[in-house]
Structure 1
Amino acid sequence: MAEPAAYNAPNNPLAPVIGLSFFAIASGFLMSLIPLSLSAFKLDENLAPWLASIFYLGLLIGATTIERIVVKVGHRFAFILFLSLLILSVLAQLALPNAISWLIARFIAGIAVAGVFVVVESWLLMTNTAKSRAKRLGLYMTSLYGGSAVGQLAIGPLGTQGATPYLFVAALLCFAILAPLLITKGQPEKQQLQKLYLKEIKNLSHPAMLGCLASGLLLGPIYGLMPVYIASQAEQAQYTGTLMAVIILGGMLVQPLVSYLSTRLEKSLLMGMFCLVGAAGAIGILQANTLAGLIISYLILGACSFALYPIAITLACDSLPMAKIVSATEIMLLSYSIGSVFGPMLSAHLSNAPNGIVFYLAGCLISTCIYMFIKSITNIHAGKTPVAG
């Protein structure tokens, strides 16, 4: 089927990238702030994995409904809507500091963040060439993870006590809304979007879907439980914000390499390679006896964990017409969300064991590595091209 002519005109990535940058700073700070601020609000610290899981449950539910909203109101207004919903969820946590309210607020926040991800990813991926898609997704990931790393650094000056940190998050999200409010041109044509049918979903790349699933299994615990793990280690506690920033900084720094390699190597092989190196980083955390060693190990773990999603999503979209990109990003986010829901709960079972979360992350990376290497060998024997993955 021929692609609609409306997509031949390039859309403008400025509004989503600027808005995403402010969103990422706010979100990065908030993800670490929530588990660290539980005691200040007289909430049980055992609530942390449940807050992480219900957030990702909201992400999962949101991933099944976002496409209809984008089709109805367009990318720009959908971006504004989801950012506004996220602000309300943050303010609700301040207004009602109890377990039930926080669980509901984080569920709503998950839906809102799903909307932000699908809107921005599909907005940027709606371009004509694989090379352009890889470049734009690299810009997206750099903005997302760079902002998240900066957000971690706010833990030191702002702390985790009282209302001020949460008001700071809300203010940043207000700045994020200004970009789509003020930049009114350049969004993709909303009336041209098409849904993937069940048969097409079944034919989507299995390594791409598993890559998104593994990304969720890794990043859910990294965001939701890693701050608590670092703070519980006597030799690391004073560097909690810094080490979390290092993890996410690794995710930002690896994006140019991901963009470069994803059009040159078979993508299943590339994901397997990152998983192997990431597992080495996790082992390095356990073996490091200096701060420099810890920083390098956390940097490697972060780089490799955050590399999977952009490779997987470009693999899924490589052979699709642009009109179906929104639907594809929704399916990939759904896979990511399933992993993110179960990741914190699975790793929480190991949290009582020394270094349990680190062993969990290493196990996920090694398992995914084995699968990706097997698929890569299968693809090579089947004669598939490197770019197609």
Structure 2
Amino acid sequence: MIIALRAVFSLLFGAGLLILGNGLIGILLPIRLGVEEVSPHLSGVVMSAFYLGFMLGSIAGQGIIRRVGHIRAFAAFAALATATSLVHALVFDVTVWAILRAISGFCMAALYATIESWLNVKSSNDHRGQVLSIYLVTSYLASLLGQLLVNTYEIEGLGLFCLGAVLMALSLVPVVLTRVAGPEIGAVKRLGLRVLYKASPLGVITTWGAGMLSGAFYALGAIYADSLDLSIWQISLFMGVPIFGGMVLQWPIGRLSDRYDRRTVLLGVLVTCVAASVVLSFFGYGGASLPTLLVASVFLGGALATIYPLAVAQAFDYVDRADMVGASGGLLLVWAIGATIGPLIASFVMGRFAAPALFIYLAVVASALVVFTLYRMLRRQALPTSEQTNYVSMQTTSAIANALDPRTDPLPEFYYNDEDPGDR
């Protein structure tokens, strides 16, 4: 573990700063929209634009990186992400903010691809799984701390936007000064959606549903919390503890999914999501103590964080090992589509019925996934647990990160070139 950490420490530090700044901006914007009395529907449009940009970035970002090189690409995208954070503070306009969120999402997708391809080239085959685990813990902790940083300055001022921009700008330093030249990456070919669906209908539909759920909650959850008249500190806790829940529940859920029929475990996770959403909706309308809300949100966050890796593991059970990286790229695109649509639908429901209806939306989507899971359990015989692929914790960043996944074949040697065209 120490050897693996030493090899990638500077990259992880840069990634942590980037995710820290992005997490701060991600919770600041919906709170600020609430302060400015923007309707939930328009707030949903603004926040869903990030996932639209992320989807486009996951498609086009790698091509830009191949053309200009890693160092130049990272510097350009980090500069754009920094600038968008600052422009939010200078111009308050819903349309402008939606455009800025789309640009930010595009940049983050490309930045993830840049960092993760560097992590791949600096990780030996023996340490790929360890590097992935360290990277995931770094991502979770940085996201959690980013929620809490919203308490450092006044919501109405410029300080929080500046802090987010500074953190993103500082992420350049450890990454650009890394000793290993940025590898020139080849294209990660995605498996077609039709091929993926034919291999694992449950994996594809559940991945899409995971995006519908996570995108809506993390885009609009702060608006719900603000509607309960919680303080900024309490809102940051409400949005932070689901991230903590997602991190700590990965291991037990993964253990269960490797020992039993994975669909049964997925069913339990979805039912947990429904139950936690019903509790949060009920107390949102009727009032509840903060501890009750936090406990429910921990379980909701744990469920949301494990649906996607369970869906990927389910799909991998029916995909050849050589195609797994391509399959993960296709599934990431499916997730991004769901995450773009989710906040739009949820915000419409919130505008029609009040903010707590966010969790009615989550409960309905999760219930639909429960029904589809039961249907697929009747349609297809369960694989013996000895033939299932192992569960691996993962986040929705880029398909390149999945090359670190010990279940996949390492990327071929020709995938990386020693000389980065951006360094010439």
Indicate the TM-score class for this superposition, using the shorter chain for normalisation.
0.7 to 0.9
Change (3 A) 1:349 1:271: same
CA shift at 1:11, angstroms?
12
Q: 1:101 aligns with which of 88, 96, 103?
A: 96
1: distance between equivalents of 2:320 and 2:15? 25
Q: 2:77 aligns with which of 38, 61, 82?
A: 82
What residue number does 1:221 align with? 216
2: distance between equivalents of 1:317 and 1:132? 21
1: distance between equivalents of 2:115 and 2:9? 11
What residue number does 2:276 align with? 281
Give yes or no for contact 2:190–2:328 (8 Å, CA) kept in 1: no
SS of the residue corresponding to residue 375 of structure 1 reads helix
CA shift at 1:185, angstroms?
2.4
Change (3 A) 1:156 1:169: same
What residue number does 2:245 align with? 250
CA shift at 1:154, angstroms?
1.7
2: distance between equivalents of 1:302 and 1:143? 17
Residue 388 of structure 2 is aligned to residue 386 of structure 1: yes
What residue number does 1:312 align with? 311
CA shift at 1:105, angstroms?
0.9
Deviates more, 1:36-45 or 1:361-370: 36-45
Unaligned runs of 5+ in 2: 392-424
Change (3 A) 1:261 1:158: farther
Give yes or no for contact 1:281–1:300 (8 Å, CA) kept in 2: yes
Change (3 A) 1:238 1:71: closer
What residue number does 1:5 align with? none
Give yes or no for contact 2:77–2:107 (8 Å, CA) kept in 1: yes
2: distance between equivalents of 1:295 and 1:275? 19
What residue number does 1:353 align with? 353
Counterpart amino acid of 2:353? A
CA shift at 1:68, angstroms?
2.2
Give yes or no for contact 2:148–2:233 (8 Å, CA) kept in 1: no
Counterpart amino acid of 2:357? G
1: distance between equivalents of 2:129 and 2:310? 9
1: distance between equivalents of 2:30 and 2:69? 35
Deviates more, 1:113-122 or 1:26-35: 113-122
Counterpart amino acid of 1:311? L
How many residues in Structure 1 have an aligned counterpart in Structure 2? 378
Counterpart amino acid of 1:275? L
Q: 1:110 aligns with which of 90, 93, 105?
A: 105
CA shift at 1:142, angstroms?
2.8
1: distance between equivalents of 2:84 and 2:322? 33
Change (3 A) 1:133 1:346: farther
SS of the residue corresponding to residue 282 of structure 1 reads helix
2: distance between equivalents of 1:152 and 1:215? 21
2: distance between equivalents of 1:375 and 1:244? 33
TM-score w.r.t. the length of structure 1 is 0.82
Q: Deviations over 1:57-102 (max 9, x none)?
A: 2122222213323444566654444333211221222333323322
Unaligned runs of 5+ in 1: 1-8
Counterpart amino acid of 1:330? G
Counterpart amino acid of 1:360? Y
What residue number does 2:176 align with? 181
Counterpart amino acid of 1:240? I
What residue number does 1:372 align with? 373
What residue number does 1:334 align with? 333
1: distance between equivalents of 2:208 and 2:266? 12
SS of the residue corresponding to residue 160 of structure 1 reads coil
1: distance between equivalents of 2:314 and 2:178? 30
Give yes or no for contact 1:230–1:237 (8 Å, CA) kept in 2: no
Change (3 A) 1:44 1:257: same
Give yes or no for contact 1:267–1:388 (8 Å, CA) kept in 2: no
Give yes or no for contact 1:204–1:316 (8 Å, CA) kept in 2: yes
TM-score w.r.t. the length of structure 2 is 0.76
What residue number does 1:3 align with? none
What residue number does 1:195 align with? 189
- Alpha-carbon RMSD across the aligned residues, in angstroms, is 3.6
CA shift at 1:336, angstroms?
1.4
CA shift at 1:381, angstroms?
4.3
Change (3 A) 1:215 1:84: farther
2: distance between equivalents of 1:212 and 1:374? 16
What residue number does 1:6 align with? none
Q: Deviations over 1:230-260 (max 9, x none)?
A: 1111468772121111122212222333554
Change (3 A) 1:349 1:196: closer
Matches within 5 A, 1:140-155: 140-155=135-150
Q: 2:16 aligns with which of 18, 21, 35?
A: 21
CA shift at 1:361, angstroms?
0.9
Change (3 A) 1:134 1:292: farther
1: distance between equivalents of 2:91 and 2:184? 40
Give yes or no for contact 2:140–2:243 (8 Å, CA) kept in 1: yes
CA shift at 1:106, angstroms?
1.1
Counterpart amino acid of 1:112? C
2: distance between equivalents of 1:103 and 1:283? 30
Q: Deviations over 1:266-306 (max 9, x none)?
A: 54443332211122222232456433222110110111112
2: distance between equivalents of 1:48 and 1:343? 13
